[in-house]
Amino acid sequence: MKRYLFILFLAISFSVQAQSNTANYKYIIVPEKFSFLKQINQYGLNTLTKAFFEEKGFTVYFDNSEIPEEIATDRCKALVVELQENNSMFVTNLTLLLKDCKGAVVIKSKAGKSREKEYETSYNLALKDAFTSFNDFKYVAGNPTTVTTSTPAPANVAAKAAPAPVNQPIVAKTEQQEGLLYAQPISNGYQLIDATPKIVMTLLKTSVEDCYISNNGNGNGVVLKKNGTWFFEYYKNNVLVSEKLSIKF
C-alpha cells in the first residue's frame, strides 16, 4: 500500500518540477506555420494556440510579428511552441511542446487525439485534447504556475510531498465509473477507450505490477488492481477518491 501511495504522490508531484521550470517566463512565441503543415495557420491551429496561451495570462507573439526589444535582444526570455504530429491510419495525434531558447523541452503535453475523419475538425480536436495537459497552467505577474508535464519528478522530490493529515480518512468516498473500458496498448502503457469510441484515460507503466500513473483529462492519479478489481485513485480537495473501473485488456 505504501508503494501505491508513493506512486500517487509521484503523479501529483509533476507540478513541482514544472513550476520551477517555468518560473522565469511570461512570453510565448508561436510559429505562424507548424513544421508538419504546408500552409500558414493551416486549420487555424496557430491562432488557436496563441489564443489559448493568451487566456492563460501570457504575452504571446507570432514568430513573424514585431516583437518587443526585451525579447528581440534576449530570446531566452520567451518559450517557443512546437507542435508534433504522430498520426496513425485512423487517429490524429498531436503533442504540444514548450521549448527554451536552447531548444530544450521545458513542458510537454500529453498526446492529444481525435478520430474524426474531417481534417480540420480532427486537428482542432486533437490540439484541444493536448491543451488539457495545461488546464492549470497560467501566468500571474511574478508567479507563473503549471501542474502537468510528461516527465515525472525525481524520487527525492516526490518523497517530500506532504502526507495527508492524521485525522483524514485514507479513502473518503468510492465511486463507480459506468461502462466497460477497453485497454489499447501504447508505447509506455495503455489508453482506455469507451464504447463511443473515445479515449477517456491514459495509463503509464510503473515498476509496480498492476499499478499505473494515470490521467483522465482532468487530473493525475493512479490506476491499480485491488482484490481483482481496478480502481482509479486521485486527490480531490485534499481527499483521496477511489473510482471503481471495469477494464478489458
Domains of the chain: 2-13+168-248 (no CATH), 23-134 (3.40.50.10070)
Cell of residue 205, nine digits: 507503466
CB 246 within 8 A of CB 181: yes
**Whole-number average pLDDT of the chain:** 77
Please state, in angstroms and rounded to a whole number, the distance separating the CA atoms of residues 90 and 86.
11
Report whether pLDDT(169) > 90: no
Grid coordinates representing 24?
522565469
Average pLDDT over every residue of 156-172: 45
Residue written as cell 505504501? 2
User: In which region does residue 227 sit, left (phi positive, over 0), alpha (psi from -120 to 50) or beta (all else)?
Assistant: left
Q: Is the pLDDT of residue 88 over 90?
A: no
What's the pLDDT tens digit per position in 43-58? 999 999 999 888 888 8
pLDDT of res. 55: 87
What predicted TM-score, i.e. pTM, was given to this entire model? 0.52
